[in-house]
């Protein structure tokens, strides 16, 4: 676990630098960036230095980049962060809070003066191993030229732009153990609000 975590931090820290190699046996996919755009994984770790062995990385499902469909949404308190703490980190006043009845549960936060205006959302996915979770986090940034790397959030995080209900917004995706957590906010710029929220809730996950 310590080796994976150290490898994870090293990889996350060099996403923007265009890293293209990995240490044999560290179990971490290497991502190469071309022109600022994350590409498919190359030089998968664990090989003999000449050919990449079969890996679960290419078949690892990515974190969901859109809100879950068909999931019941009920009024309640978010188990990861309070409404006030979310409001302080995100920058909008929060009124209604709902819990997504997914497994694990997610949360949605709505504007205090418009109960239908979504200001933020937290969703969680659990993978088979910490390595799969970390790789899924890295791969979630593929195709986003504006991706930013935050190795100090959880076991590593990326932030990039993605629509929230059709409006420009930022999200931060971090890995922690076997979990991949996606934090979306309605803030169009910069990524700092989503990153601050991710940093706030990361200790809730193991």
Read off the pTM: 0.70
Question: What pLDDT is stored for residue 60 in this prediction?
Answer: 54
Mean pLDDT across the stretch 10-18? 42
d(C-alpha 15, C-alpha 41), whole Å: 12
Domain contains 11: no
Query: What is the phi-psi region of residue 198: left when phi exceeds 0, alpha when psi lies from -120 to 50, beta otherwise?
Result: alpha
Kindly tell me if the per-residue pLDDT of 187 is higher than 80.
no
Q: How confident is the model at residue 198 (pLDDT cuts 50, 70, 90)?
A: very high
DSSP category for residue 31: E
Percent of the chain scoring above 90 in pLDDT? 37
Q: Where are the alpha helices (DSSP H) in 71-191?
A: 83-90, 130-139
Q: Where are the alpha helices (DSSP H) in the chain?
A: 2-13, 83-90, 130-139, 192-201
Which range, of 40-44, 83-87, 186-190, 193-197, averages the lowest pLDDT? 40-44
Kindly tell me if the per-residue pLDDT of 184 is higher than 70.
yes
d(C-alpha 95, C-alpha 115), whole Å: 7
Question: What pLDDT is stored for residue 164 in this prediction?
Answer: 76
Q: How confident is the model at residue 61 (pLDDT cuts 50, 70, 90)?
A: low
Q: Name the token pair of 199.
A: 């940093």
Q: Name the token pair of 95.
A: 């009124």
Is the bond into 22 cis (omega within 30 degrees of 0)?
Answer: no
Domain contains 200: yes
DSSP-assigned beta bridge partners for residue 171: 160, 184
The chain-wide mean pLDDT, for the chain, equals 72
Which one is predicted more confidently, 21 or 72?
72
Domain contains 135: yes
Domain contains 136: yes
Domain contains 41: no
Question: What pLDDT is stored for residue 7 in this prediction?
Answer: 44
The total domain count for the chain is 1
Whether the CB-CB separation of 46 and 7 falls below 8 Å is answered with no
Kindly tell me if the per-residue pLDDT of 138 is higher than 90.
yes
Question: Domain residues for 195?
Answer: 58-67+120-204
pLDDT in tens, 69-109: 677 888 999 999 998 988 888 877 888 899 998 889 999 99
d(C-alpha 117, C-alpha 143), whole Å: 28
Domain contains 44: no
Whether the CB-CB separation of 7 and 21 falls below 8 Å is answered with no
Domain contains 131: yes
d(C-alpha 15, C-alpha 33), whole Å: 7
Mean pLDDT across the stretch 186-190? 76
> Rounded to whole angstroms, what are the CA distances from 114 to 74, 110, 111?
17, 7, 5
Question: What pLDDT is stored for residue 111 in this prediction?
Answer: 87
Domain contains 134: yes
Question: What pLDDT is stored for residue 100 in this prediction?
Answer: 92
Which one is predicted more confidently, 113 or 44?
113
């Amino acid at each position: 676990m310590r080796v994976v975590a150290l490898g994870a931090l090293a990889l996350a820290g060099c996403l923007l630098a265009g890293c293209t190699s990995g240490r044999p046996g560290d179990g971490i996919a290497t991502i190469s960036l071309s022109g600022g755009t994350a590409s498919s994984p190359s030089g998968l770790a664990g090989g003999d230095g000449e050919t990449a062995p079969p890996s679960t990385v290419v078949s690892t499902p990515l974190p969901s980049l859109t809100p879950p469909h068909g999931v019941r949404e009920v009024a309640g308190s978010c188990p990861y962060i309070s409404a006030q703490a979310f409001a302080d980190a995100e920058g909008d006043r929060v009124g209604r809070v709902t819990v997504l009845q997914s497994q694990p549960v997610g949360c949605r936060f709505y504007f205090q003066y418009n109960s239908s205006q979504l200001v933020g959302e937290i969703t969680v996915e659990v993978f088979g191993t910490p390595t799969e979770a970390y790789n899924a986090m890295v791969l979630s940034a593929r195709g986003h030229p504006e991706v930013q790397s935050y190795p100090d959030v959880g076991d590593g995080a990326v932030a990039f732009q993605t629509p929230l209900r059709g409006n420009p917004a930022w999200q931060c995706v971090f890995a922690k153990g076997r979990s991949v957590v996606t934090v979306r906010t309605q803030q169009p710029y910069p990524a700092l609000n989503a990153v601050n929220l991710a940093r706030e809730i990361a200790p809730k996950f193991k």
